[in-house]
Amino acid sequence: MEKKIKVLLVDDEQEFVQTLAERLKMRDVGPDVAYNGEQALELVSDQVPDVMVLDLRMPGIDGMEVLRRVRKNYPDVQVIILTGHGSDKDEEEARRLGAFEYLQKPVDVDHLLKTLRLAYKKKMEDAMVAATFAEAGDFRTAREIMDEDKKDR
């Protein structure tokens, strides 16, 4: 049986994020929802998601700052940027900070779902490779693998 992917959708456009959440639920992915950066950071600290789908332009703590904090404090969380107002410069910065993918609104839900699954797969593969090294007693390499994502992005 396939494990349910823990997804957090973060967007200040409440109608959009609720509609997206419903469409994902119809595809057996039941996401949690946050309507601003502050709420997203609180939810992550309570229950760390596998994948976060994050808008960039939000009042208060914007998406880029949420990305920065999540990647620093929870490096195994895969973050997909989903924005309607992004630029090439924003995409470059998001990828530098460790975003798994950068998508533009409107997005096809099936494409987003495929991206969510790829992000989850990457998270699981990284964890399995690190665990293999740890089981062999090579804790330094295991730690490097888990930290590698942080450095590379």
Task: Print the SS3 string covering the chain.
Answer: CCCCCCEEEECCCHHHHHHHHHHHHCCCCCCEEECCHHHHHHHHHHCCCCEEEECCCCCCCCHHHHHHHHHHHCCCCEEEEEECCCCHHHHHHHHHHCCCEEEECCCCHHHHHHHHHHHHHHHHHHHHHHHHHHHCCCHHHHHHHHHHHHHHC
Which domains does the chain possess?
7-119 (3.40.50.2300)
User: 95-119: per-residue pLDDT in tens?
Assistant: 999 999 999 999 999 999 999 999 9
pTM for the full model? 0.85
At 115 the pLDDT is 96
pLDDT digits (tens, 9 = 90+) for 124-149: 887 777 777 777 787 777 677 666 65
State residue 111's pLDDT score. Answer: 96
